[in-house]
A and B are shown apart, each in its own frame.
Chain A
């Protein structure tokens, strides 16, 4: 008759360890258990035992290679080695990110153009009536007082310019009527001012 194995004394972590080996723990649970495994020698002996059991079930020859002292020897040798440190390993999603990110950027650009820029262009493109409405104020006739002030400013500017041009006319390059130009301009401005 088969005897029922007695494992009443086993810790609850041992059953979780058994599940860890079978890939049946969540990443969080697995991480917590691995942390315990690194410091708990009793739990580690169960880790070793369960792996021997797996090896023995699959191949008696492999299980027969077991050397109890070997792990201690390697651990001792490793303890004499400088601690290895590596930068955070690249995540598995890196290739995905590499190809997905540019695609998303392009999609985002297209979306911005479609939903923001195009409607904006459409609304700011002037329709004839709107254009008329916006231009109208600017072509409103100036008042008489403002007209007089503008004319006075223009004459003053013209006089200053005339003096400047007269002083520098020797430097002007050849035009159709090089020496006549300042006089023509002055005459025109005086006529406008009147």
Chain B
């Protein structure tokens, strides 16, 4: 089951009245939506308010979502429209076209060009995240590092990774899982989450 299928399964659960499934979608996409809205709205508190409004609008509109596009593409459009309306209501100029088009919604390659939009606090946190990730990666054994990079950055399937690394698929599963756990441990203090606390 592909990532898109997983999203679609969660959407169908929400459509059957399971609110907790929507929670999982919020957990998954909140950072991407924040990042998107930060392009249009500078104040972080306002970004969170607009993001919350966008998620609630998405929840209300979910009965009409049929899965013709990816869930995130659909959510992205709702977030952009919510931000535009919010800017107009604040008497600010809303962009005539979305500076970030739909194709960009699927990528994360916006870090460099948007750095100047970040506040000093955000830049500091970004640096701390980068340090934590780099530290975690450096500490990983080589086979775990290769497996997680091939999966998360290169987008290879387990089968392809197994071929590349010349090992069984079961070993690939285990390596990726252990790498994720290790990086998560390193990120926890930076993102102010403890083991018991919700991410």
Contact = CB atoms under 8 A, between A and B. Distances in A.
Contacts, number: 239
Contacts of B195: 45
Interface residues of A, number: 66
A2 B199 contact: no
A81 B58 CA distance: 12
A39 B13 CA distance: 13
A10 B152 CA distance: 21
Interface in B135-153: 138-142, 144, 148-149, 151-153
Given A23-B1, A71-B26, A78-B23, A7 B152 contact: no
Interface in A18-74: 18-27, 30-31, 34, 37-39, 41, 44-45, 47-68, 70-74
Contact of B32 (A10, A25, A62, A86): A62
Contacts of A49: 180, 184, 187-188, 193, 199
Contacts of A19: 158, 173, 177
Given A5-B178, A19-B173, A27-B1, A34 B21 contact: yes
Given A22-B158, A72-B198, A64 B27 contact: no
A115 B102 CA distance: 54
Given A48-B199, A63-B129, A68-B191, A10 B24 contact: no
Contacts of A74: 23, 26, 30, 52, 55-56
A188 to B, nearest CB: 82
Describe B's contact surface by its main secondary structure.
helix
Describe A's contact surface by its main secondary structure.
helix
A90 B66 contact: yes
A146 interface: no
A71 B191 CA distance: 14
Interface string B79-104: 00000000000000000000000000
A19 B153 CA distance: 16
B199 A86 contact: no
B9 interface: yes
B199 A83 contact: no
A4 interface: yes
A86 B35 CA distance: 30
A73 B52 contact: yes
A58 to B, nearest CB: 4
* Band of interface residues on B: 35 or more
A89 B182 contact: no
A55 B31 contact: yes
Contact of A51 (B28, B130, B141, B197): B28
Contact of B5 (A23, A48, A89): A23
B14 to A, nearest CB: 7
Nearest to A28: B1
B110 A59 contact: yes
A44 B24 contact: yes
A177 interface: no
B21 A38 contact: yes
B183 interface: yes
Contact of B63 (A51, A81, A85, A92): A85
Interface in B106-130: 108-111, 114-115, 118, 122, 125-130
Interface of A: 2-5, 7, 10, 14-15, 18-27, 30-31, 34, 37-39, 41, 44-45, 47-68, 70-75, 77-79, 81, 83-86, 89-90, 92
